[in-house]
């Protein structure tokens, strides 16, 4: 390898490590490497993540499996080598947040063999997929994070009765009988 080629490789490695875009490299959904922005987004140290399944950054096993199946099916059936979606992800401290993800496979015949992912934390008021209003999506995220109606009201600077109305609408839309079922459905549907 020439000196120039080595310098170029070093620059490419540095660009990945310090890129402001949170990035992850996986093999069969196990973490091979990630950059500093990814570590900051999810709150982990590199040694806590390397060789671990990406399950660590999902709010539930059901979500991990459902998104894995959906993305793999897409990659097998799409002319593109990339996959994108919006979903809930989980910080090390337990906080669940809405994120946009983009994945690109380097091995189209076996998509999960080697992939590069980019994650972006989305604003609470983002108009994601589904039929929830921006306010319902905002309240849903706070419910998923364990906040009660009065805590949500205080954080959003609205009446707790307004929060209860939105929560009732969420329960009706999601066909949930109680708050535990609602949280489960919010995470799974996303």
Question: Can you give the pLDDT at residue 183?
Answer: 80
Task: Give the Cα separation of 101 and 118 in Å (integer).
Answer: 6
- Provide the CA 140 distance to its chain's centre, in angstroms: 15
In the predicted model, is pLDDT for residue 125 greater than 50? no
User: With respect to CATH, is domain 134-189 assigned 1.10.240.10?
Assistant: no
pLDDT band at 160 (very low <50, low <70, confident <90, very high): very high
Task: Give the Cα separation of 23 and 35 in Å (integer).
Answer: 6
Question: Can you give the pLDDT at residue 87?
Answer: 86
Q: Tokens 């900051």 belong to which residue?
A: 40
Give the residue, 158 or 5, on which the prediction is more confident.
158
Task: Give the Cα separation of 172 and 130 in Å (integer).
Answer: 14
Question: Can you give the pLDDT at residue 189?
Answer: 52
pLDDT band at 92 (very low <50, low <70, confident <90, very high): very high
Rg (CA), the chain: 19
- Domain segments of the chain: what residues? 3-121, 134-189
Cα 62–Cα 64–Cα 67 angle in degrees, nearest 5: 100
| Residue 113 to residues 32, 36, 46, 64, 105, Cα–Cα distance (Å) | 11, 23, 21, 17, 8
User: Residues 137-152: pLDDT tens digits?
Assistant: 888 888 887 788 999 9
pTM of the predicted model over 0.85: no
Window from 32-36, 84-88, 111-115 with minimum mean pLDDT: 84-88
* Angle subtended by helix axes 179-189 and 134-144, to nearest 10: 110
Question: Can you give the pLDDT at residue 128?
Answer: 39
| Residue 153 to residues 49, 157, 176, Cα–Cα distance (Å) | 36, 6, 21
pLDDT band at 108 (very low <50, low <70, confident <90, very high): very high
Q: What is the CATH number of domain 3-121?
A: 3.30.450.20
């Amino acid at each position: 390898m020439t000196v120039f080629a080595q310098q170029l490789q070093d620059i490419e490695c540095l660009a990945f490590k310090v890129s402001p875009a949170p990035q992850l490299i996986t093999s069969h959904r196990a973490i091979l490497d990630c950059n500093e922005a990814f570590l900051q987004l999810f709150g982990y140290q590199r040694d806590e993540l390397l060789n671990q399944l990406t399950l660590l950054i999902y709010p539930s096993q059901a979500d991990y499996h459902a998104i894995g199946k959906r993305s793999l099916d897409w990659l097998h059936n799409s002319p593109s080598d990339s996959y994108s979606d919006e979903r809930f992800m989980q910080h090390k401290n337990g906080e669940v947040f809405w994120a946009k993800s983009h994945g690109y496979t380097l091995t189209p015949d076996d998509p999960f063999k080697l992939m590069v992912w980019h994650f972006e934390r989305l604003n609470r008021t983002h108009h994601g997929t589904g039929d929830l209003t921006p306010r319902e999506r905002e309240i849903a995220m706070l419910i998923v994070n364990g906040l009660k109606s009065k805590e949500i009201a205080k954080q959003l600077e609205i009446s707790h009765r307004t929060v209860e109305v939105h929560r009732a609408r969420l329960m009706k839309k999601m066909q949930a009988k109680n708050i535990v079922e609602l949280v489960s459905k919010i995470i799974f549907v996303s």
